[in-house]
Amino acid sequence: MKMFGSIGTRSLLFGVHQFLWHPLTVWLAWKELYGNPSWKETVCIALHDMGYWGKKSMDGSDGVRHPEAGAELVGRMFGEEYRQLVLGHSRSYAKLHGIDPSKLCWADKLSIKYERWWLYLPRAWASGELKEYRAVADHKRFVDKNESNRKWFEKLKEDMERQSKEETRKQHCIKSIKNTVGAKQVPVRL
């Protein structure tokens, strides 16, 4: 499959980040978490992973910078707020640059909910991503390399769904606390 280019390019063409299917699942996840995205947010969703093009690794030193290309483009079109939305979609990128993960990060994580193993695993295998993801999962002691790919996928799905729901709930709480603190105090009559 190497004739199709680097692992990042293959991921966009027919792998996990397939350029039509992956944004569609992220769009659905966004809708589930926050309601319908605006058209500008939809463009951000469509372009957020375009920077994988030509990347030689998914999570290595070049792959980790994949949010930059999409962020640059939407930043030029719609401004800084949208640039940050795309830059912050990757937790590792956000951590590396000391920025907060954006709303797009949690929609991106939840998007796996809309995947099925029989659609996801063949893509991950064909692009070569599966090997890299399994090695990382084994290294982090997330899923042992001797476990089946299906088991790895189901565990990943469970973990991503839990994380995205927890994080959005947390952010919702922070927002309502801020609103409460800023709200006018109503005197209580006894």
91 in Cβ contact with 105 (< 8 Å) = yes
Instruction: Please tell me whether residue 167 binds Fe ion under the rule CB under 5 A.
Output: no
Of 4-12, 49-57, 70-78, 160-168, the segment contacting Fe ion by CB under 5 A is 49-57
Smallest Cα–Cα separation from 162: which of 100, 99, 113?
Answer: 113
Distance between CA atoms of residues 53 and 63, nearest Å:
9
Q: Which helix (H) or strand (E) holds 46?
A: helix 39-47
Among 49, 115, 129, 167, binds Fe ion (CB under 5 A): 49
The region, left, alpha or beta by phi > 0 then psi within -120 to 50, assigned to residue 97 is alpha
Instruction: Please tell me whether residue 108 binds Fe ion under the rule CB under 5 A.
Output: yes
Residue with smaller CB distance to Fe ion, 92 or 147: 92
Instruction: Please tell me whether residue 115 binds Fe ion under the rule CB under 5 A.
Output: no
Question: What is the x/- site pattern for Fe ion, positions 9-48, by CB under 5 A?
Answer: ----------------------------------------
Q: Which residues bind Fe ion (CB under 5 A)?
A: 49, 90, 108
